[in-house]
A and B are shown apart, each in its own frame.
Chain A
Amino acid sequence: MATLGVIAVAVLLAPASAAGQDLSAAAKTTTTHKAWIPPRTADGQPDLQGVWTNNTVTPLERPKELAGKEFYAEAELQALAKKERERLTKIEDEGQPPANHSGVEGAPADDVHYDFSQFGLDRGQSKLAWNRRTSIIVGPDGKIPPLTPEARARLAEIRAKAKGHEFDGPENLTLGARCLARPNVAPLLPTAYNSNLQIVQGRGYVAIETEEIHDVRIIPTDGRPHIPKTIHQWYGDSVGHWEGNTLVIDTTNFTDLSPFRGAQNLHMIERLTRADEDTILYQFTVEDPGMWTKPWSGELPIVKIQGQLYEYACHEANYALADTLRGARVTEEQAAKKSAK
Protein backbone atom coordinates (compact mmCIF):
# COMPACT_ATOMS: atom_id res chain seq x y z
CA MET A 1 0.00 0.00 0.00
CA ALA A 2 2.79 2.39 0.95
CA THR A 3 4.54 1.56 -2.31
CA LEU A 4 1.45 2.35 -4.30
CA GLY A 5 1.19 5.68 -2.54
CA VAL A 6 4.78 6.55 -3.39
CA ILE A 7 4.30 5.65 -7.04
CA ALA A 8 1.18 7.74 -7.27
CA VAL A 9 2.80 10.71 -5.59
CA ALA A 10 5.75 10.46 -7.94
CA VAL A 11 3.44 10.31 -10.91
CA LEU A 12 1.42 13.26 -9.72
CA LEU A 13 4.41 15.42 -8.87
CA ALA A 14 5.42 15.84 -12.47
CA PRO A 15 2.10 17.18 -13.75
CA ALA A 16 1.62 19.32 -10.64
CA SER A 17 3.67 22.29 -11.84
CA ALA A 18 2.18 22.16 -15.30
CA ALA A 19 -1.22 21.92 -13.70
CA GLY A 20 -0.51 25.06 -11.74
CA GLN A 21 0.23 27.00 -14.90
CA ASP A 22 -2.73 25.62 -16.74
CA LEU A 23 -5.13 26.27 -13.94
CA SER A 24 -4.03 29.84 -13.46
CA ALA A 25 -4.58 30.24 -17.18
CA ALA A 26 -8.02 28.73 -16.85
CA ALA A 27 -8.99 30.81 -13.86
CA LYS A 28 -7.66 34.22 -14.82
CA THR A 29 -11.11 35.65 -15.41
CA THR A 30 -11.30 36.79 -11.81
CA THR A 31 -8.84 39.57 -11.15
CA THR A 32 -9.22 38.83 -7.46
CA HIS A 33 -7.97 35.28 -8.03
CA LYS A 34 -4.88 35.63 -5.86
CA ALA A 35 -6.88 36.87 -2.90
CA TRP A 36 -9.48 34.13 -3.25
CA ILE A 37 -9.84 31.97 -0.15
CA PRO A 38 -11.52 28.60 -0.58
CA PRO A 39 -14.75 28.31 1.40
CA ARG A 40 -15.02 25.86 4.28
CA THR A 41 -17.81 23.61 5.43
CA ALA A 42 -19.30 23.99 8.92
CA ASP A 43 -16.83 21.42 10.24
CA GLY A 44 -13.88 23.23 8.70
CA GLN A 45 -13.16 21.15 5.59
CA PRO A 46 -12.54 22.69 2.17
CA ASP A 47 -15.98 23.06 0.58
CA LEU A 48 -16.31 21.22 -2.74
CA GLN A 49 -20.09 21.14 -2.67
CA GLY A 50 -22.25 22.07 -5.60
CA VAL A 51 -23.41 20.94 -9.02
CA TRP A 52 -20.57 20.67 -11.50
CA THR A 53 -19.73 19.49 -15.01
CA ASN A 54 -16.61 18.02 -16.59
CA ASN A 55 -18.07 18.30 -20.10
CA THR A 56 -15.12 18.99 -22.37
CA VAL A 57 -13.84 18.84 -25.92
CA THR A 58 -10.47 17.59 -24.63
CA PRO A 59 -9.95 13.96 -25.67
CA LEU A 60 -8.66 11.40 -23.18
CA GLU A 61 -5.66 10.61 -25.39
CA ARG A 62 -3.69 13.14 -27.38
CA PRO A 63 -4.46 13.08 -31.10
CA LYS A 64 -1.57 12.02 -33.35
CA GLU A 65 -1.29 15.39 -35.01
CA LEU A 66 -0.62 17.02 -31.62
CA ALA A 67 2.13 14.59 -30.59
CA GLY A 68 4.61 16.26 -28.25
CA LYS A 69 2.35 19.27 -27.67
CA GLU A 70 0.82 19.14 -24.20
CA PHE A 71 -0.86 22.57 -24.15
CA TYR A 72 -2.59 24.84 -26.63
CA ALA A 73 -1.54 28.45 -26.75
CA GLU A 74 -4.30 30.84 -25.72
CA ALA A 75 -5.00 31.86 -29.33
CA GLU A 76 -5.22 28.22 -30.38
CA LEU A 77 -7.72 27.55 -27.63
CA GLN A 78 -9.83 30.50 -28.81
CA ALA A 79 -9.68 29.17 -32.36
CA LEU A 80 -10.78 25.74 -31.12
CA ALA A 81 -13.73 27.26 -29.29
CA LYS A 82 -14.72 29.18 -32.42
CA LYS A 83 -14.53 26.00 -34.48
CA GLU A 84 -16.75 24.21 -31.97
CA ARG A 85 -19.37 26.97 -32.14
CA GLU A 86 -19.32 26.94 -35.93
CA ARG A 87 -19.65 23.17 -36.01
CA LEU A 88 -22.68 23.29 -33.74
CA THR A 89 -24.32 26.15 -35.64
CA LYS A 90 -23.93 24.19 -38.87
CA ILE A 91 -25.44 21.08 -37.31
CA GLU A 92 -28.36 23.05 -35.92
CA ASP A 93 -29.01 24.55 -39.35
CA GLU A 94 -28.42 21.52 -41.53
CA GLY A 95 -28.87 18.55 -39.21
CA GLN A 96 -26.29 16.06 -38.08
CA PRO A 97 -24.36 14.48 -40.92
CA PRO A 98 -24.78 10.71 -41.20
CA ALA A 99 -22.29 8.65 -39.25
CA ASN A 100 -20.39 7.53 -42.28
CA HIS A 101 -16.99 6.50 -41.00
CA SER A 102 -15.86 4.86 -44.22
CA GLY A 103 -14.32 8.04 -45.56
CA VAL A 104 -15.90 7.32 -48.94
CA GLU A 105 -18.05 10.20 -50.09
CA GLY A 106 -21.64 9.22 -50.68
CA ALA A 107 -21.30 5.87 -48.91
CA PRO A 108 -24.35 4.96 -46.85
CA ALA A 109 -24.33 5.74 -43.15
CA ASP A 110 -22.95 2.87 -41.14
CA ASP A 111 -24.97 3.78 -38.11
CA VAL A 112 -28.54 4.86 -37.67
CA HIS A 113 -29.46 7.16 -34.84
CA TYR A 114 -31.36 10.29 -33.97
CA ASP A 115 -29.90 13.74 -34.41
CA PHE A 116 -28.11 14.42 -31.13
CA SER A 117 -28.28 18.20 -31.34
CA GLN A 118 -32.07 18.02 -31.71
CA PHE A 119 -32.26 16.59 -28.23
CA GLY A 120 -29.78 19.02 -26.71
CA LEU A 121 -27.24 16.22 -26.42
CA ASP A 122 -24.45 17.72 -28.49
CA ARG A 123 -21.62 18.49 -26.07
CA GLY A 124 -21.48 22.07 -27.38
CA GLN A 125 -25.05 22.72 -26.24
CA SER A 126 -24.02 22.29 -22.60
CA LYS A 127 -21.52 24.24 -20.59
CA LEU A 128 -17.97 23.21 -21.43
CA ALA A 129 -15.04 23.06 -19.03
CA TRP A 130 -12.38 24.64 -21.22
CA ASN A 131 -8.70 24.20 -20.53
CA ARG A 132 -5.49 24.41 -22.51
CA ARG A 133 -4.55 20.75 -22.34
CA THR A 134 -4.52 18.86 -25.63
CA SER A 135 -5.42 15.62 -23.85
CA ILE A 136 -6.81 14.66 -20.47
CA ILE A 137 -3.84 12.33 -20.00
CA VAL A 138 -0.87 14.38 -18.81
CA GLY A 139 2.79 14.04 -19.75
CA PRO A 140 4.77 14.10 -22.97
CA ASP A 141 2.99 11.09 -24.51
CA GLY A 142 -0.59 11.91 -23.56
CA LYS A 143 -1.48 8.29 -24.24
CA ILE A 144 -2.53 5.29 -22.21
CA PRO A 145 0.65 3.25 -21.73
CA PRO A 146 0.95 -0.05 -23.62
CA LEU A 147 -0.88 -3.09 -22.27
CA THR A 148 1.20 -5.82 -20.70
CA PRO A 149 1.58 -8.95 -22.89
CA GLU A 150 -0.69 -10.83 -20.45
CA ALA A 151 -3.41 -8.19 -20.69
CA ARG A 152 -3.16 -8.13 -24.47
CA ALA A 153 -3.57 -11.89 -24.59
CA ARG A 154 -6.42 -11.88 -22.07
CA LEU A 155 -8.38 -9.17 -23.89
CA ALA A 156 -7.77 -10.78 -27.29
CA GLU A 157 -9.11 -14.09 -25.98
CA ILE A 158 -12.21 -12.40 -24.62
CA ARG A 159 -12.80 -10.60 -27.91
CA ALA A 160 -12.34 -13.82 -29.88
CA LYS A 161 -14.83 -15.67 -27.67
CA ALA A 162 -17.33 -12.84 -27.94
CA LYS A 163 -17.19 -12.61 -31.72
CA GLY A 164 -20.44 -13.72 -33.29
CA HIS A 165 -22.17 -13.84 -29.90
CA GLU A 166 -22.63 -10.11 -29.37
CA PHE A 167 -26.41 -10.35 -29.15
CA ASP A 168 -26.94 -13.87 -27.82
CA GLY A 169 -28.54 -12.63 -24.62
CA PRO A 170 -28.66 -9.63 -22.30
CA GLU A 171 -25.40 -10.69 -20.60
CA ASN A 172 -23.56 -10.15 -23.87
CA LEU A 173 -24.53 -6.51 -24.18
CA THR A 174 -22.43 -3.68 -22.78
CA LEU A 175 -22.79 -2.64 -19.17
CA GLY A 176 -24.06 0.71 -20.43
CA ALA A 177 -26.71 -0.87 -22.66
CA ARG A 178 -27.81 -2.88 -19.63
CA CYS A 179 -28.00 0.26 -17.45
CA LEU A 180 -25.56 -1.30 -14.98
CA ALA A 181 -22.49 0.88 -14.99
CA ARG A 182 -20.73 3.54 -17.01
CA PRO A 183 -17.04 4.26 -17.31
CA ASN A 184 -17.38 7.89 -16.17
CA VAL A 185 -17.76 7.37 -12.41
CA ALA A 186 -14.34 6.16 -11.25
CA PRO A 187 -12.29 8.00 -12.40
CA LEU A 188 -14.59 10.96 -13.02
CA LEU A 189 -14.37 11.31 -16.78
CA PRO A 190 -16.65 13.20 -19.13
CA THR A 191 -19.31 11.14 -20.84
CA ALA A 192 -21.04 11.85 -24.13
CA TYR A 193 -23.79 13.95 -22.57
CA ASN A 194 -25.09 14.75 -19.08
CA SER A 195 -21.49 15.00 -17.86
CA ASN A 196 -22.76 16.41 -14.61
CA LEU A 197 -22.04 15.61 -11.01
CA GLN A 198 -22.98 16.80 -7.56
CA ILE A 199 -20.74 16.86 -4.51
CA VAL A 200 -22.26 16.81 -1.03
CA GLN A 201 -20.26 16.83 2.19
CA GLY A 202 -21.19 15.74 5.71
CA ARG A 203 -19.03 15.37 8.79
CA GLY A 204 -16.41 12.80 7.84
CA TYR A 205 -17.84 12.07 4.40
CA VAL A 206 -17.81 13.34 0.85
CA ALA A 207 -20.40 12.01 -1.60
CA ILE A 208 -20.05 12.35 -5.37
CA GLU A 209 -23.08 11.60 -7.52
CA THR A 210 -22.71 11.40 -11.28
CA GLU A 211 -25.83 12.05 -13.33
CA GLU A 212 -24.91 9.24 -15.71
CA ILE A 213 -26.02 6.84 -14.62
CA HIS A 214 -27.17 7.89 -11.23
CA ASP A 215 -24.34 6.41 -9.16
CA VAL A 216 -23.13 7.80 -5.85
CA ARG A 217 -19.65 7.25 -4.48
CA ILE A 218 -19.63 7.73 -0.70
CA ILE A 219 -16.12 8.53 0.48
CA PRO A 220 -15.33 8.42 4.22
CA THR A 221 -12.59 10.86 5.29
CA ASP A 222 -12.28 9.68 8.88
CA GLY A 223 -9.13 7.64 8.39
CA ARG A 224 -10.75 4.22 8.19
CA PRO A 225 -9.01 1.50 6.16
CA HIS A 226 -10.38 -0.08 2.99
CA ILE A 227 -12.99 -2.82 3.28
CA PRO A 228 -11.62 -6.40 3.31
CA LYS A 229 -9.91 -7.48 0.10
CA THR A 230 -12.51 -10.17 -0.48
CA ILE A 231 -15.25 -7.60 -1.13
CA HIS A 232 -15.43 -6.14 -4.63
CA GLN A 233 -17.67 -3.39 -5.96
CA TRP A 234 -18.46 -1.89 -9.39
CA TYR A 235 -16.74 1.38 -8.53
CA GLY A 236 -14.41 -0.02 -5.87
CA ASP A 237 -14.03 1.13 -2.30
CA SER A 238 -12.96 4.75 -1.82
CA VAL A 239 -11.39 6.27 1.29
CA GLY A 240 -10.34 9.89 1.42
CA HIS A 241 -8.26 12.35 3.39
CA TRP A 242 -7.48 16.06 3.16
CA GLU A 243 -4.07 17.40 2.21
CA GLY A 244 -4.36 21.13 2.68
CA ASN A 245 -7.18 22.21 0.36
CA THR A 246 -7.06 18.97 -1.60
CA LEU A 247 -9.31 15.95 -1.18
CA VAL A 248 -7.25 12.84 -1.89
CA ILE A 249 -9.24 9.69 -2.65
CA ASP A 250 -7.72 6.23 -2.74
CA THR A 251 -9.84 3.55 -4.42
CA THR A 252 -9.26 -0.19 -4.49
CA ASN A 253 -11.52 -3.27 -4.34
CA PHE A 254 -12.87 -2.93 -7.88
CA THR A 255 -14.50 -6.03 -9.29
CA ASP A 256 -12.56 -7.76 -12.04
CA LEU A 257 -15.60 -6.84 -14.13
CA SER A 258 -14.56 -3.24 -13.64
CA PRO A 259 -16.23 -0.94 -16.10
CA PHE A 260 -12.87 0.80 -16.56
CA ARG A 261 -11.23 -0.64 -19.66
CA GLY A 262 -11.28 -4.24 -18.48
CA ALA A 263 -8.64 -3.73 -15.76
CA GLN A 264 -8.70 -6.48 -13.15
CA ASN A 265 -6.77 -5.02 -10.20
CA LEU A 266 -7.35 -1.34 -10.57
CA HIS A 267 -5.90 1.07 -8.02
CA MET A 268 -6.80 4.71 -8.40
CA ILE A 269 -5.80 7.91 -6.64
CA GLU A 270 -7.77 11.09 -7.26
CA ARG A 271 -7.15 14.64 -6.11
CA LEU A 272 -9.84 17.33 -6.06
CA THR A 273 -8.68 20.88 -5.39
CA ARG A 274 -10.99 23.88 -5.42
CA ALA A 275 -9.19 26.38 -7.62
CA ASP A 276 -11.72 29.20 -7.55
CA GLU A 277 -15.41 29.82 -7.00
CA ASP A 278 -16.34 28.05 -10.24
CA THR A 279 -13.56 25.50 -10.72
CA ILE A 280 -12.25 22.29 -9.18
CA LEU A 281 -9.01 20.87 -10.53
CA TYR A 282 -9.45 17.12 -10.88
CA GLN A 283 -6.40 14.85 -11.12
CA PHE A 284 -6.25 11.09 -11.19
CA THR A 285 -3.70 8.30 -11.44
CA VAL A 286 -4.62 4.71 -12.24
CA GLU A 287 -2.44 1.64 -12.09
CA ASP A 288 -2.84 -2.06 -12.57
CA PRO A 289 0.52 -3.80 -13.07
CA GLY A 290 -1.23 -6.72 -14.77
CA MET A 291 -2.91 -4.37 -17.24
CA TRP A 292 -0.62 -1.44 -18.13
CA THR A 293 3.15 -1.31 -18.27
CA LYS A 294 3.15 1.78 -16.05
CA PRO A 295 0.69 3.95 -14.09
CA TRP A 296 -0.91 6.84 -15.97
CA SER A 297 -2.44 10.12 -14.94
CA GLY A 298 -4.95 12.62 -16.20
CA GLU A 299 -6.33 15.97 -15.21
CA LEU A 300 -9.15 18.27 -16.19
CA PRO A 301 -11.10 21.11 -14.68
CA ILE A 302 -14.59 20.57 -13.30
CA VAL A 303 -16.71 23.71 -13.51
CA LYS A 304 -19.83 24.89 -11.75
CA ILE A 305 -23.18 24.73 -13.51
CA GLN A 306 -26.59 26.04 -12.62
CA GLY A 307 -29.41 24.00 -11.31
CA GLN A 308 -29.70 20.48 -10.17
CA LEU A 309 -28.95 17.00 -11.34
CA TYR A 310 -31.85 15.32 -13.09
CA GLU A 311 -32.75 11.75 -12.42
CA TYR A 312 -31.32 9.26 -14.86
CA ALA A 313 -33.44 6.21 -14.12
CA CYS A 314 -32.23 3.91 -16.86
CA HIS A 315 -33.74 0.46 -16.35
CA GLU A 316 -37.35 1.53 -16.30
CA ALA A 317 -37.62 2.52 -19.93
CA ASN A 318 -34.76 0.53 -21.40
CA TYR A 319 -36.85 -0.70 -24.33
CA ALA A 320 -33.73 -0.65 -26.47
CA LEU A 321 -32.32 -3.75 -24.78
CA ALA A 322 -35.32 -5.92 -25.62
CA ASP A 323 -35.65 -4.34 -29.09
CA THR A 324 -32.02 -5.18 -29.81
CA LEU A 325 -32.38 -8.82 -28.76
CA ARG A 326 -35.65 -9.23 -30.68
CA GLY A 327 -34.02 -7.64 -33.68
CA ALA A 328 -31.16 -10.14 -33.47
CA ARG A 329 -33.63 -13.07 -33.32
CA VAL A 330 -35.54 -11.78 -36.36
CA THR A 331 -32.30 -11.31 -38.27
CA GLU A 332 -31.21 -14.87 -37.41
CA GLU A 333 -34.58 -16.24 -38.51
CA GLN A 334 -34.38 -14.40 -41.82
CA ALA A 335 -30.84 -15.67 -42.39
CA ALA A 336 -31.93 -19.25 -41.61
CA LYS A 337 -34.84 -19.03 -44.06
CA LYS A 338 -32.58 -17.64 -46.74
CA SER A 339 -29.99 -20.41 -46.37
CA ALA A 340 -32.75 -23.08 -46.32
CA LYS A 341 -33.98 -21.97 -49.73
Chain B
Amino acid sequence: MRTKLLVLIGLLLTAAPAWAHHAFAAEFDQSRPLKLKGTVVKWEVTNPHSWIHMDVKGDDGKVVTWMIEGGSPNNLYRLGFTKDSLPPGSEIMVEGYQAKDLSTRAVGKSVTFADGRKLFLGLQARESDPETKK
Protein backbone atom coordinates (compact mmCIF):
# COMPACT_ATOMS: atom_id res chain seq x y z
CA MET B 1 0.00 0.00 0.00
CA ARG B 2 2.83 2.33 0.91
CA THR B 3 4.54 1.65 -2.37
CA LYS B 4 1.29 2.13 -4.23
CA LEU B 5 0.69 5.47 -2.59
CA LEU B 6 4.18 6.60 -3.39
CA VAL B 7 3.80 5.66 -7.03
CA LEU B 8 0.56 7.55 -7.24
CA ILE B 9 2.17 10.55 -5.61
CA GLY B 10 4.86 10.34 -8.22
CA LEU B 11 2.51 10.38 -11.14
CA LEU B 12 0.45 13.20 -9.77
CA LEU B 13 3.35 15.51 -9.23
CA THR B 14 3.34 17.11 -12.58
CA ALA B 15 5.64 19.91 -11.56
CA ALA B 16 7.70 19.16 -14.64
CA PRO B 17 6.54 21.01 -17.73
CA ALA B 18 4.50 18.71 -19.95
CA TRP B 19 7.27 18.50 -22.51
CA ALA B 20 10.05 17.48 -20.19
CA HIS B 21 11.22 14.05 -19.23
CA HIS B 22 11.90 15.35 -15.76
CA ALA B 23 11.82 18.55 -13.74
CA PHE B 24 15.05 20.22 -14.80
CA ALA B 25 15.00 22.56 -11.85
CA ALA B 26 15.32 19.53 -9.56
CA GLU B 27 18.49 18.42 -11.30
CA PHE B 28 20.15 21.74 -12.16
CA ASP B 29 20.79 24.88 -10.16
CA GLN B 30 19.44 28.13 -11.49
CA SER B 31 21.90 30.05 -9.32
CA ARG B 32 24.89 28.37 -10.99
CA PRO B 33 24.90 29.51 -14.61
CA LEU B 34 28.08 28.69 -16.48
CA LYS B 35 29.81 29.12 -19.79
CA LEU B 36 32.13 26.34 -20.94
CA LYS B 37 34.45 26.25 -23.92
CA GLY B 38 36.17 23.03 -24.82
CA THR B 39 36.46 20.02 -27.05
CA VAL B 40 34.06 17.13 -27.45
CA VAL B 41 35.33 13.84 -25.99
CA LYS B 42 32.26 11.83 -26.90
CA TRP B 43 28.56 12.21 -27.45
CA GLU B 44 26.23 9.72 -25.84
CA VAL B 45 23.30 9.54 -28.23
CA THR B 46 20.89 8.13 -25.69
CA ASN B 47 17.39 8.49 -24.33
CA PRO B 48 15.83 10.01 -22.38
CA HIS B 49 18.61 12.59 -22.78
CA SER B 50 21.75 12.82 -24.83
CA TRP B 51 24.98 13.71 -23.04
CA ILE B 52 27.96 15.54 -24.53
CA HIS B 53 31.23 14.83 -22.74
CA MET B 54 33.66 17.69 -23.18
CA ASP B 55 37.14 18.57 -21.93
CA VAL B 56 37.40 22.06 -20.51
CA LYS B 57 40.72 23.66 -19.64
CA GLY B 58 40.50 25.75 -16.48
CA ASP B 59 42.43 28.96 -15.72
CA ASP B 60 45.00 26.82 -13.88
CA GLY B 61 45.60 24.81 -17.05
CA LYS B 62 44.00 21.73 -15.58
CA VAL B 63 41.62 19.84 -17.89
CA VAL B 64 38.29 18.81 -16.43
CA THR B 65 35.74 16.64 -18.23
CA TRP B 66 32.19 17.93 -18.10
CA MET B 67 28.98 16.11 -19.05
CA ILE B 68 26.29 18.20 -20.69
CA GLU B 69 22.66 17.11 -20.76
CA GLY B 70 20.74 17.72 -23.96
CA GLY B 71 17.65 16.56 -25.81
CA SER B 72 16.51 13.09 -26.76
CA PRO B 73 18.16 12.06 -30.02
CA ASN B 74 15.18 10.66 -31.93
CA ASN B 75 14.18 13.85 -33.68
CA LEU B 76 17.79 14.80 -34.43
CA TYR B 77 18.06 11.52 -36.31
CA ARG B 78 14.87 12.33 -38.21
CA LEU B 79 16.33 15.70 -39.17
CA GLY B 80 19.47 14.11 -40.55
CA PHE B 81 21.85 14.25 -37.61
CA THR B 82 23.90 11.16 -36.84
CA LYS B 83 26.35 10.07 -34.19
CA ASP B 84 29.17 11.08 -36.54
CA SER B 85 27.89 14.64 -36.89
CA LEU B 86 29.55 15.65 -33.64
CA PRO B 87 32.98 14.02 -33.77
CA PRO B 88 35.40 13.98 -30.83
CA GLY B 89 37.68 17.00 -30.99
CA SER B 90 34.95 19.38 -32.16
CA GLU B 91 35.29 22.72 -30.45
CA ILE B 92 32.07 23.83 -28.83
CA MET B 93 30.75 26.39 -26.41
CA VAL B 94 28.08 25.62 -23.88
CA GLU B 95 25.95 27.99 -21.87
CA GLY B 96 23.98 26.27 -19.17
CA TYR B 97 23.50 25.53 -15.52
CA GLN B 98 25.50 23.28 -13.21
CA ALA B 99 23.96 20.23 -11.53
CA LYS B 100 22.65 20.67 -7.99
CA ASP B 101 24.87 17.83 -6.77
CA LEU B 102 27.82 20.13 -7.66
CA SER B 103 29.37 17.52 -9.95
CA THR B 104 30.84 18.50 -13.31
CA ARG B 105 27.52 17.97 -14.99
CA ALA B 106 25.35 20.66 -16.51
CA VAL B 107 22.37 21.23 -18.73
CA GLY B 108 23.41 22.75 -22.06
CA LYS B 109 20.92 25.56 -22.52
CA SER B 110 22.63 26.51 -25.74
CA VAL B 111 25.37 24.64 -27.52
CA THR B 112 27.27 26.39 -30.32
CA PHE B 113 30.33 25.77 -32.44
CA ALA B 114 33.34 27.97 -31.82
CA ASP B 115 32.36 30.12 -34.84
CA GLY B 116 28.94 30.83 -33.35
CA ARG B 117 26.91 28.45 -35.50
CA LYS B 118 24.26 26.68 -33.50
CA LEU B 119 25.21 23.07 -33.13
CA PHE B 120 22.13 21.21 -34.28
CA LEU B 121 20.27 23.78 -36.32
CA GLY B 122 20.10 24.24 -40.05
CA LEU B 123 20.90 20.63 -40.87
CA GLN B 124 17.89 19.99 -43.01
CA ALA B 125 14.49 21.47 -43.63
CA ARG B 126 11.91 21.02 -40.94
CA GLU B 127 9.56 18.15 -41.33
CA SER B 128 6.50 20.18 -40.51
CA ASP B 129 3.98 20.97 -43.20
CA PRO B 130 4.62 24.28 -44.93
CA GLU B 131 0.87 24.71 -45.29
CA THR B 132 -2.08 23.41 -43.39
CA LYS B 133 -4.31 20.94 -45.15
CA LYS B 134 -7.29 22.57 -46.81
Contact = CB atoms under 8 A, between A and B. Distances in A.
Interface of A: 25-29, 74, 77-78, 80-81, 84-85, 88, 92, 95, 99, 108-121, 124-128, 130, 155, 158-159, 161-162, 165-167, 169, 171-179, 181, 191-194, 211, 213, 256-257, 259, 262, 305, 307, 310-314, 316-321, 323-324, 326-331
A81 B132 contact: yes
Contact of B10 (A125, A175, A318): A175
Q: What's the dominant secondary structure at chain A's contact region?
A: loop
Nearest to A257: B7
A119 B25 contact: no
B23 to A, nearest CB: 7
A158 B12 contact: yes
B133 A114 contact: no
B115 interface: no
A128 B129 contact: yes
Contact of B21 (A78, A124, A177): A177
* Size band of the interface chain B makes with A: 35 or more
Given A120-B120, A314-B48, A171 B128 contact: no
Contacts of A317: 44, 46-49, 51
A319 B21 CA distance: 12
Nearest to B130: A85
B22 A174 contact: yes
Contact of A125 (B111, B127, B131): B127
B66 interface: no
B8 A262 contact: yes
A120 B132 CA distance: 20
A310 B74 contact: yes
B75 A113 contact: no
A175 B7 contact: yes
Contacts of B3: 171
A174 B13 contact: yes
Contacts of B51: 317, 319
B28 A112 contact: yes
Given A171-B10, A313-B46, A320-B48, A108 B72 contact: no
Closest 5 CB pairs of A and B: A119-B71, A192-B19, A327-B100, A317-B46, A120-B75
B22 to A, nearest CB: 4
B35 interface: no
B26 A179 contact: no
16 contacts: A28-B133, A78-B131, A111-B30, A119-B75, A121-B71, A126-B126, A126-B127, A127-B127, A172-B13, A177-B16, A257-B7, A257-B8, A310-B77, A316-B47, A327-B100, A329-B101
